Structure 1
Amino acid sequence: MSETRVFLLPDLGEGLTEAELVSWHVAVGDEISVDQPIAEVETAKSTVEVPSPYAGIVAELHGQPGETLDVGKPLISVTPVSVAGTAADDAAPAEPAGPVVEPAETELGEPAAEPAKAHPEAEAYREEEKAGSGNVLIGYGTPGGHGVARRTRARRSSVALAEPVDTKPAETPTEDDLTLLRTRVPGRLGAVISPLVRRMAREHGVDLGELPGSGEGGLIMRRDVEKAIHAPVVEPAETKPVETKTAEPAAAPEGVDARTGLPIAARTPVRGVRKAVAANMARSRSEIPEATVWVDVDATGLLELREGLKAGGSSVPGLLAFIARFVTAGLKKYPELNTRIETASDGSQEIVSFDGVNLGIAAQTDRGLVVPSVRAAEKLTSRELDAEIRRLTDVARQGKATPTELGSGTFTLNNYGVFGVDGSAAIINHPEVAILGVGRIIDKPWVVNGELAVRKVTELTLTFDHRVCDGGTAAGFLRFVADAIENPTTLLADL
């Protein structure tokens, strides 16, 4: 008799640890096929449909719409449709019937050493894997898909291969260890971590995404986690008062706020994109010593240039695309603003520079503020930038932007003028070091050649990390972009 298989919620991109279940596409008792979409989930970065790696009858749905599920926890249980007289039935092991949790996959680029006896669940999955699967999730690529990398299945005797030989006795990995293999480290796609190291980090609250690896190729070792565990931690002074305050509402009447005495109208959980934005903005403000400079700019020349191009009948990029061209040119002259600061476990810091610009475009969506980025923006013309900005904005608003598109920026351009405001001291999109804001373009009195005239004026605001540069560099970059807007033909010869 076929055993029920449990499909664990996979890592949907860049080390995300949870997702909100939006809706089920199947119900208990339905017969499903491999790669059939079974559920729609919303992560902190996008909304995706999750395909099933199994074919069979839906036995159980692990979660209700609106519920937040952890990566590596059960999502759906599927009972394969039994076929009489098959080799699998004849060779079924004499073990108690029960749910089988599929072994997790490693992140290694080549297969692990073959153990003396393969895990029965892994052997069973290989037969299914031969059929191929077109839809690919991170950690679930298949050889039958379109140009995807082969998967390496983790066996019980080899799940800790990423960790070098230790003087301590080898530990036998549990199902919890296998589950941990599905979780990747944010920002460190190449740092393959053994499940033992991951569990040690989880139990002691160590953030692997911020931990530098001392092993070859940046591999995070057990000693790195142990060092972080024993490092002195200073608790914030406000911890105790906050704990005391959380107990106060219990004494208040139900539905009434204890501090204000007003009726509570609603409670909205902070999750999804809003949760990610809140965490990122709080981290930015707590870690980055930011400063802001701004300048009013006469954009009349740029608007006249666009009108002239329209009159010529050619395709004309949007204003934001022109400004994006000016920004990438400015970052080439002032590369300090296209960097990132990395902090080692010993407190030492490095400024990381990049050979290229991934220009983030802040986009307001129904799910919240997201920042998809135009990769290698410095290589694109104004028309190419316009097309890519429109594409990214569209997929972001649909909730379909990929984790790579949402998490790879090196500098952000924010057009808050669309909201009808002139300026804003924006918060830097951590871990970047600067963000340029553009206000609305309106008619203002302006002195031109000694005479007062009405011109099209906008305000540029640059917020920057004072650790990477001083005011002179920030002002130089801002003035460069402003001059380009006022005299656009100097930089737009390659439209």
Structure 2
Amino acid sequence: MNKPKVFLLPDLGEGLTEAELVSWLVAVGDEIRVDQPIAEVETAKSMVEVPSPYAGTVAVLHGEPGQTLDVGKPLISVTPVGAAPGAALPASAGRAVDSPDTVVDSPAAVAAEVYREEEKAGSGNVLIGYGTPGGHGVARRSRAPRRGAVQVPAAEKAADDLVLMRTRVPGKLGAVISPLVRRMARDHGVDLGELQGSGASGLIMRRDVEAAIKPSVVERPEAPAGTEAPAPAGGTDARTGLGIAGRTPVRGVRKAVAANMARSRSEIPEATVWVDVDATALLEMRAALKRSDPHNTPGLLAFIARFVTAGLKKYPELNTRIVTTEDAAGGASKEIVAFDGVNLGFAAQTDRGLMVPSVRNADKLSARELDAEIRRLTAVVREGKATPAELGSGTFTLNNYGVFGVDGSAAIINHPEVGILGVGRIIDKPWVVHGELAVRKVTELTLTFDHRVCDGGTAGGFLRYVADAIENPGSVLADL
């Protein structure tokens, strides 16, 4: 009799440990095919449709819309095509040991068997950070149980092993960790890519993460007497005496943004420089291009992005990243990693919060090509369909906060980058031109940079380069 196949929530990329189930795209009893989308889930990075690696009848949906599911936990159970009706897996899945001679599969054993079958065959479907190897895995053999042996603990261990194998750290196959360990690391701002696991084959254990966390964080003292307890929704706030209108859980994108911004502020010794810029010439140049080609004229942000990528080539210190490495003696040291190319991130406001997609190899694109890619990525993130790679691969960020009607902002660096350039609104201001007072189109550029990678001279040089390019766009573009 064919057993139901239990599909576990895969790692959807960037080492994410959980996802919120937004909606089911199938129902119990539906016939589904391989690679058919079965659920829509929201991670801290994007909205993703999860396809099924199995064909058959939907037996169980393991979760309700709005529920947060851990990577490696059951998502859906599918009865294979041609299976007997009795093969359907009940919602309270799980069978016990009937006798010393009979070992019946638990959900953990079913899940482990599913993984073994995927290792041998593979569905051919691949998501970011998830995919079956299509025959490259090693099949495991199961020995017949000894008479009188209780096999449930072994099945549970197999499920634990499965969870570990489903939650690899991208780029570090040996550093396999459980969702609980990964969540602990994320909550405390520990970079798992910088840890050396103490377990077998470099396995990162809970003790490794705890050792990287400050004792004051790991050993949380009890709240002192008089600490305010959270009031229930609809109740009264103890501190202000005001009624509570509602509570909004910090999760998904907002949770990821909050953690990243807090980490940036705590780790990066940042400094900010700014300058007012006369953008009249750039606006006039774009207006002339629009008159000659009204349907193929890049936006102002695309021109500024072109100037930024050129400036980063001239001042490459701002297109770097600081990483921690381990020397031969086991000590930790930091190094500055420079990149051969620029992935330019740009801030985009969406209904799900502030997103920062990045234009890959932006230094190789023209202003028109940058404009097209910026528009494409903006549409993708607003639809919630951006991939983790599109949202997590930037090397420098451009932030146009002028669209909100503000002149300047000391922006927070998008960790682990080392710089962010902000552009304020363009407004009419009195400006001295050739000794005469005139009304010009003026904007403010603000550069926040990591003082560990460069000093004010480099930051000021980069900022002045971009400002000069905006004030004299024709001459600069001629040299690009």
TM-score of Structure 1 vs Structure 2, range by shorter chain: 0.7 to 0.9
**Which residue, out of 263, 279, 289, partners 2:269?**
289
Q: Does 1:409 align with 2:394?
A: yes
- When residues 236 and 228 of structure 1 are mapped into structure 2, their CA distance, relative to the original with a 3 A threshold, is closer
**Superposition map of 1:413-432 within 5 A:** 413-432=398-417
Q: Is the aligned partner of 1:141 residue 2:131?
A: yes
Supply the AA of the counterpart residue of 2:460.
A
**Is the 8 Å Cα contact of residues 139 and 182 (structure 1) preserved in structure 2?**
no
Q: Contact conserved, 2:320 with 2:338, CA < 8 A, in 1?
A: yes
Maintained 8 Å contact 2:185/2:191: no
Cα deviations by residue, 1:230-260 (Å, 9 ceiling, x for unpaired): 568341599547x348963269997111111
RMSD value, Cα: 3.3
SS of the residue corresponding to residue 403 of structure 2 reads helix
Amino acid in structure 2 at the alignment position of 1:40: E
Is 1:96 the counterpart of 2:104? The answer is: yes
Say if 1:22 and 1:66, in contact at 8 Å, map to a contact too: yes
Would the alpha carbon gap of residues 51 and 224 (structure 1) be closer, same or farther in structure 2, given more than 3 Å must change? closer
Deviations 1:274-295 (A, max 9, x none): 0000000000001111111110
Contact 1:320 1:415 survives alignment (8 Å)? yes
Does residue 399 in structure 1 map to residue 379 in structure 2? no
- TM-score by length of structure 1 reads 0.80
Shift of 1:4: 1.7
Q: Which residue of 2 aligns with 1:165?
A: none
What SS class does the counterpart of residue 248 from structure 1 fall into? coil
Establish whether residue 258 from structure 1 lines up as the match of residue 242 from structure 2: no
1:381 equivalent to 2:371? Answer no
The counterpart of 1:305, out of the listed 285, 307, 317, is 285
Tell me, in whole angstroms, the C-alpha distance in 1 between the residues paired with 2:138 and 2:111: 6
- Answer yes or no: is the 8 Å Cα contact 1:5–1:101 preserved in 2: no
Letter aligned with residue 343 of structure 1 = T
1:50 matched to which residue of 2? 50
Aligned equivalent of 2:305: 324
* Cα distance change of structure 1 residues 276 and 205 upon mapping to structure 2, 3 Å threshold: closer
**1:341-360 CA deviation, whole Å, 9 max, x = no partner?**
11246442111111111000
TM-fit CA distance, 1:193: 2.2
1:291 aligns to what SS in structure 2?
strand
| 1:64 paired to 2:54 | no
* Paired amino acid for 2:13: G
* CA–CA distance in structure 2, aligned partners of residues 248 and 80 of structure 1: 53
Residue 300 (structure 1) shift: 0.2
Could you tell me how far 1:95 is from its partner in structure 2? 5.7
Q: Are the counterparts in 2 of residues 342 and 349 from structure 1 also a CA contact under 8 Å?
A: yes
Look up the equivalent residue of 2:322 and give its one-letter code: I
- Which amino acid in the other structure matches residue 392 of structure 1? L
Structure 2 unaligned spans of 5+: 85-101, 143-155
> Could you tell me the percent identity over the aligned residues?
68
CA contact (8 A) 1:181 1:194 kept: no
Shifted more, 226-235 versus 443-452: the winner is 226-235
**Alignment partner for residue 276 of structure 1, among 256, 262, 271?**
256
C-alpha distance in 2 between matches for 1:9 and 1:494: 51
The one-letter amino acid paired with 2:168 is R
CA contact (8 A) 1:4 1:98 kept: no
Amino acid at match of 1:177: D
Distance 1:237 1:198 in 2: 18
Structure 1 position 209 matched with structure 2 position 192 = yes
Report if aligned partners of 1:20, 1:272 keep a CA contact under 8 Å in 2. Answer: yes
CA offsets 1:43-63 (integer angstroms, 9 cap, x no match): 111111111111222221111
**In structure 1, distance between residues paired with 2:476 and 2:310:** 8
Number of the residue aligned with 1:108: none
Aligned match of 1:444: 429
8 A contact 1:211–1:224 mirrored in 2: no
Q: How far is the alpha carbon of 1:318 from its aligned partner?
A: 0.6
**1:424 partner SS:** coil
Cross-structure match for 2:14 = 14
Moved more, 219-228 or 330-339: 219-228
Instruction: State the partner residue of 1:113.
Output: none
Amino acid at match of 1:310: K
CA contact under 8 A between 2:7 and 2:114: conserved in structure 1?
no
List per-residue Cα deviations over 1:394-448 (Å, max 9, x = no partner).
1111111111110000000000111111111100000000000001111111000
- The structural deviation recorded for 1:333 is 0.9
In 1, distance between residues paired with 2:183 and 2:443?
A: 52
Deviation at 1:316, TM superposition (A): 1.2
Note closer, same or farther for the CA distance 1:347–1:452 as it changes in structure 2 (3 Å cut). same
Normalised TM-score (structure 2) = 0.83
Structure 1, residues 353-388: CA drift from partner, whole Å, max 9, x if none? 111110001111111111110111111111111111
Q: Secondary structure at the match of 1:181?
A: helix
Mark the CA change 1:202 to 1:274 in structure 2 (over 3 Å): closer, same or farther: closer
The alignment of Structure 1 onto Structure 2 pairs a total of residues equal to 441
Q: Which runs of 5+ in 1 are unaligned?
A: 85-93, 105-119, 143-148, 159-171
Match status 1:192 vs 2:173:
yes
Distance 1:325 1:52, change over 3 A: same
The residue identity in structure 2 corresponding to 1:209 is L
Offset at residue 98 of structure 1 (A): 5.4
Partner of 1:180: 164
Kept in 2, the 8 Å contact 1:21–1:39? The answer is yes
Q: In structure 1, what is the equivalent of residue 151 of structure 2? A: none
One of 345, 350, 354 as aligned partner of 1:369: 354
Report the counterpart of residue 78 of structure 1 in structure 2. 78
Q: Relative to 1, partners in 2 of residues 1:355 and 1:460: Cα closer, same or farther, differing over 3 Å?
A: same
